[in-house]
Amino acid sequence: MINLQDMRDTARNMLAKNEVRGVIGYRRSTNGMLAEPVVITKPEQADELIWDPTCFHNLSLYLVEDRKFLAHTRAKADLPIAIIAKGCDARSTVVLMQENYFERKDVYIIGVSCEGTGVLDERKLVKKGIRATNSAFDGDDFVFTTEQGEQRIPAREVMADRCLECRECFPKEHNIVLGEDKTGRQLDAPFTALKRFEELDPAARWEFWDHQFERCIRCFACRSVCPMCYCDECIVDSTSFPVTGQTTADEKANRVKWIERSATRAENMTYHMTRVLHLAGRCIDCNECERVCPVNIPLRLLNNKMEREAREQFGYEPGASIGGPSLTASFLDTDPGKFIR
């Protein structure tokens, strides 16, 4: 069991002793019982921090935002920034360091173990018809405060899919860690949802994805929330290409438009498939993209597919080590090549 007071004390002490610039954590939002990300910079703000089943956000995104902010303002950071990181958040932080987005010394990882549970999938709770005003961890259960009083639900019934299949709920990479290591507590075998989907024949799979891609409204929540989608230029924003005084009108007009603005099936599909391929070997299955999708496109299946290919064909595990090679910038002599004529 994680003691919230420990988390707050840790944050408070580090800020008070001027060991870190800020602490990226969770606080209560004004949207019902949900948590929201926050960056605290003063010791007295430490009591705002919370830890409950709605802390689903992958906070390593804010390490990226922090880096971008520093670069934009040309500020220099003498102190590291601290982050409250679950197992998945720690893995994506590792990928960011592996890609030299920042260095290990730039970040102080306050690991939190997800222990017996994971985090909540709000949609599953809504489906159960539960309107709660508060949520808390308790052993293998979530406890919700509702109008009818306290309601205890086994976590696995409303836990996020990714948590059910999580192989590493304990943040291996950390400076300090709160909670116990319960790795191996996995409730479903990895890729359970993926395997279920793959039982469909190609025609049915196509029908499924055709429908899903058509529904996309291109709000780019999936891209915006992804810590790995840190590119300054994204192929979907034709105008975010760097333009200088020397860029000619011709150059601007003749930029390759890989993807049009129209949210049609073909464009949406190209966007999502490009994104999936760009995340291959980098996505650590925090599944934030699927959570934030307002129209519920099951993006996790796509990312899972790539993750499993990487694992089974290339023996690659994303987020495993800071110094290791990246999936698509490395190779083995034994890589499969039978498909090549």
Where in 34-63 is the site for other proteins (CB under 8 A)? 34-39, 57, 61-62
One character per residue 248-267, x = contact with other proteins (rule: CB under 8 A): ----x-----x-xxxxxxxx
- Measured CA to CA, the distance from residue 124 to residue 143 in angstroms comes to 15
DSSP string, 9-21: HHHHHHHHTT--S
Q: How far is the CB of 217 from other proteins (least distance, A)?
A: 5
Reference 171, options 51, 59, 87, 283; nearest CA is 87
Which residues from 16-35 bind other proteins, rule CB under 8 A?
29-32, 34-35
Angle of CA points 74, 80, 84, to nearest 5°: 120
Nearest approach in angstroms of CB 288 to other proteins is: 8
> In the bound complex, what is the minimum distance in angstroms from residue 206's beta carbon to other proteins?
3
Residue span binding other proteins (CB under 8 A) among the ranges 44-52, 100-108, 172-180, 275-283: 275-283
Count of residues that bind other proteins according to CB under 8 A? 88
Rounded Cα gap, residues 83 and 173, in angstroms: 12
| Per-residue mark of binding to other proteins, 302-321 (x: CB under 8 A) | x--xx--xx--xx-------
Separation in Å, CA 121 to CA 54, 163, 221, 288: 8, 9, 17, 11
> Which residue stretch of 99-107, 151-159, 165-173, 295-303 sits at the interface with other proteins (rule: CB under 8 A)?
295-303
Q: Which residues touch 297 (CB under 8 Å, ≥6 apart)?
A: 212, 213, 215, 216, 222, 272, 290
CB of 254 to other proteins, least distance (A): 11
Q: Between residues 188 and 309, which has the closer beta carbon with respect to other proteins? A: 309
184-223 residues near other proteins, rule: CB under 8 A: 198, 202-210, 212, 214-215, 217-221, 223
Closest contact distance (angstroms) between CB of 180 and other proteins is 29
- By CB under 8 A, residue 274 contacts other proteins: yes
Distance CA 168, CA 273 (A): 27
**Based on CB atoms, which residue is closest to other proteins, 183 or 238?**
238
Name 179's Cβ contacts closer than 8 Å, sequence gap at least 6.
1, 2, 112, 113, 114, 115, 170
Backbone angles phi, psi at 188, to 5 degrees: -120, 155
Distant-in-sequence, close-in-space partners of 166: CB < 8 Å, separation ≥ 6: 87, 88, 114, 118, 186, 285
CB of 139 to other proteins, least distance (A): 27
- Cβ proximity to other proteins: between 140 and 324 the closer is 324
Q: Decide if residue 165 touches other proteins (CB under 8 A).
A: no
129 binds other proteins, rule: CB under 8 A: no
